Amino acid sequence: MENPTMLASGIMGETGGSLLAMAKGGAGALVTKSIGSVPRQGHKNPTLVELEFGYMNAMGLPNPGIEAFGEEMYEASKAGIPIVGSVFGSSAEEFASLARKMQGYGAEALELNLSCPHAKGYGMEMGVDPDVVAGIIKEVKAAVVIPVFAKLTPNTHKLIEVAKAAEDAGADAIVAINTLKAMKIDVDARMPVLSNRYGGLSGPAVRGVGVRCVYELFEALKIPVIGVGGVEDWRSALEYIMAGAVAVQIGSGVGRVGTQVFGDVCSGISAYMAENGFRDITQLVGVAHD
């Protein structure tokens, strides 16, 4: 990666064209939308609500299916930067099958979505069990030769236990965090706003949780941690990096700030480094632990 920013999964990552647009914005790497074995429509509207401090969504993992996604990967490859293929499944075998196909499409790494809080039968239901997570990681590692990242949920008291299980099973990095399970009530309609009732909270509202999780994971693990959750400027990116993240993913920030958020973050970090005498971004990784 030429810089430590990545497009987070779920935002502008479903088509080759949208991924290319994020590359033009300055992202150092691109993470695709989470892709499953078959096309999936997701939940009925309303699936997204904008809040004063971020977003709440319950999309339900809509995607075109892995067979149709090869064309989008080919288009996105024109960006000339690393593409991380995000996949979700209901079993270790399904994850492995999807991983093989993503590798075949040219993905340079895989992100296993083990943490979606609003799609029954997928994600978080499996991602809070250390043994299940370890089994998925082992199956995927046996199926591919590219790096495998495990994206974990903050909606469990077993985060460190799950992360260590992933590390022991061969995961190459941990991505933290996915959205926080949340809810919004329309007081005039006297009912939940989202059709699924519950959704995932993202944006600045979750940054403090994300930074804390990265800080704890950095102390507990030997493998790298990638931070995500509420990064919208260079200061919030540096919070994660100083907590121990080797890179940051940006999702909600694309919607709230614009595609220039990647370039703005990098320019701000570069200026901070020059002003404070840092020559390499790695000098800042985990400095808050010193």
CATH number at residue 134: 3.20.20.70
Active-site position among 83, 112, 116, 143: 116
Pairing outcome for strands 198-202 and 54-57: antiparallel
To which H or E segment does residue 180 belong?
Answer: strand 180-183
In a domain, 13, yes or no: yes
Is-catalytic flag, 213?
A: no
Show the 3-state SS of 215-265: HHHHHHCCCCEEEECCCCCHHHHHHHHHHCEEEEEECHHHHHCCCCHHHHH
Contact (Cβ atoms closer than 8 angstroms) between residue 140 and residue 166: no
What integer pLDDT is reported at residue 124 of this predicted model? 64
In a domain, 42, yes or no: no
What integer pLDDT is reported at residue 151 of this predicted model? 97
Residue-level pLDDT, tens digit, the chain, 290 residues: 999 999 999 999 999 999 999 999 999 999 999 999 999 999 999 999 999 999 999 999 999 999 999 999 999 999 999 999 999 999 999 999 999 999 999 999 999 999 877 666 665 677 899 999 999 999 999 999 999 999 999 999 999 999 999 999 999 999 999 999 999 999 999 999 999 999 999 999 999 999 999 999 999 999 999 999 999 999 999 999 999 999 999 999 999 999 999 999 999 999 999 999 999 999 999 999 98
In a domain, 136, yes or no: yes
In a domain, 195, yes or no: no
pTM (two decimals)? 0.96
In a domain, 197, yes or no: no
In a domain, 41, yes or no: no
What integer pLDDT is reported at residue 290 of this predicted model? 81
What integer pLDDT is reported at residue 121 of this predicted model? 65
Q: How many domains does the chain have?
A: 1
In a domain, 130, yes or no: yes
Closest by Cα among 77, 1, 5, 71 to 254: 5
What integer pLDDT is reported at residue 249 of this predicted model? 98
* Domain that residue 121 falls in: 5-36+62-180+203-289
Contact (Cβ atoms closer than 8 angstroms) between residue 262 and residue 5: yes
- 178: alpha, beta or left? (left if phi > 0; alpha if psi -120 to 50): beta
In a domain, 56, yes or no: no
Tell me: cis bond preceding 177? Omega within 30 of 0 counts: yes
